[in-house]
Amino acid sequence: MYRKRQMVWFLSPFLHIAKVISKYANFVAFVIAALFLSSFVQRYIQYKLDANFWKPKRLVALPARNDPTFFPEIFPLEEWTGVKPFLVIPRAFSQEEVPDRAREQEALAALSAAKLSRSSGNAKKTKTIIEHALALAPHHPDILTERRKRTLPLVNAIDTKLLQRIEKERDEFSRLPVTSTMKRAMRESYFLHIYHSVAIEGNTLTLGQTRSILESGVAVAGKSILEHNEVIGMDAALRFLNHSLLMINEIAVDDILEMHRRVLGNANPIDAGRIRTTQVFVGRFTPIAPEYVKEQLEELISWLNDPSTLEMSPIEKAAIAHYKLVVIHPFVDGNGRTARLLLNLILMRAGFPPVILPVESRAEYYATLHTANLGDLRPFIRYIARYTENTLKFYIGSSESCVGGACADHELGGEESERIQS
């Protein structure tokens, strides 16, 4: 009995609280609902008055010790490239050394002495002093500018001789007889071109698997449908280039769209042959906004068909056209493959064979494109020139297996790819 009373005494406060809550439950629910409604009305009014209310607030400043240092690199291109300076490439968290002011002053004094020496006609002394200034301050813009001025005529002369030598090799290629060995070399080059072009973009199919897909139409086990479709798309685009585009007088925007439509026709039919309508980002590189893409494409085509560009070396013209198309980045995907097709279209119209850019040179390919972004297209032009020459040597070397009109009957294998890379 005592325990029962003790239990009732212990639970009585809780029972009382439960009765009170039960009595005023409706009132409490009403108060909570009223507060919620009031808060919602206030926020709705604030939203109507401030269009940026729901946007995330931007941090105005970081603590001083955490402030990152940004060095913007403006997109400076020479006028002859015909590309507008519409790109800024930021380089974040730069680790550049702090310049030594004393060494800079000494370097600038040496530069002044070099200019005086040059005005007096002492070229050897001028060269020695400029090299000394460059060693003191290798990154100073005035020193670099003076060095470029001194070396530019020599560099231009070397580049001109290189392009002229390759054009002579093209003339030698055009005189080669179309033998059975040459036909096999052309067929092997076709497979090599497709294999390397898709491999640069990350496709993992081997050269043998690429050839098997195109010759037999049988799928390769363990490889994705996307990789198969990339190979089939490049095959369709190359056939279109060979059978249609080589016959026209002037290139049009629609021709580039048609090439792209075949490149992506199987892999991504929705975006195939369509100019992008969204902003894309490629690593540190930000292409132009979509609303300017068509205008830039039309400017590129106008430049390609301009009579003044006929005076340029075909290799130089093809390399610049490739670079411009990559910079414009007119498509969601397939820009690199389409740019390499445009490169070969220009070269083939000038009598060159399709140039193979091997996947083994992928790092150099992207590095020279990045250097072009910084304002110097010459390394990329030299890169294209070197592999144009290698491709010509591949064909000329294949024809040399024919002696006295009799050609060795052999199949071209993987070693031919190595000949192009070397």
- According to the model, what pLDDT value does residue 301 have? 94
- According to the model, what pLDDT value does residue 9 have? 61
Which candidate in 140, 260, 322, 329 is catalytic? 329
User: Binding site for ATP: residue ranges?
Assistant: 333-340, 365-366, 373
pLDDT over 50 at 66, yes or no: no
- According to the model, what pLDDT value does residue 403 have? 46
> pLDDT tens digit string along 332-361?
999 999 999 999 999 999 999 999 999 999
Work out the angle at residue 356's Cα, subtended by the Cα atoms of residues 156 and 336, and round it to the nearest 5 degrees: 85
- The phi, psi pair for 70, rounded to 5°, reads -110, 135
What is the DSSP track for 376-408? --HHHHHHHHHHHHHHHHHHHHHHTTEETTEE-
> pLDDT tens digit string along 194-247?
999 999 999 999 999 999 999 998 899 999 999 999 999 999 999 999 888 888
H-helix or E-strand spanning residue 72:
strand 70-74
- According to the model, what pLDDT value does residue 80 have? 35
193 an active-site residue?
no
Share of the chain above pLDDT 90, in %: 38
- According to the model, what pLDDT value does residue 207 have? 95
**For tokens 């809780």, what's the residue?**
14
Q: How many CB atoms lie within 10 A of CB 301?
A: 18
- The phi, psi pair for 320, rounded to 5°, reads -65, -40
Q: Cα–Cα distance between 117 and 209 in angstroms, integer?
A: 63
> pLDDT tens digit string along 102-148?
766 776 777 677 777 767 776 667 767 766 666 666 555 555 455 55
Average pLDDT over every residue of 160-172 = 90
Coil/strand/helix, residue 218: coil
H-helix or E-strand spanning residue 73:
strand 70-74
What is the DSSP track for 95-129? -PPPP-HHHHHHHHHHHHHHHHHHHTT-HHHHHHH
pLDDT over 80 at 149, yes or no: no
- According to the model, what pLDDT value does residue 150 have? 52
- According to the model, what pLDDT value does residue 82 have? 40
Q: Cα–Cα distance between 320 and 323 in angstroms, integer?
A: 5
H-helix or E-strand spanning residue 89:
strand 88-92
Out of 53-62, 339-348, 412-421, pick the least confident: 53-62
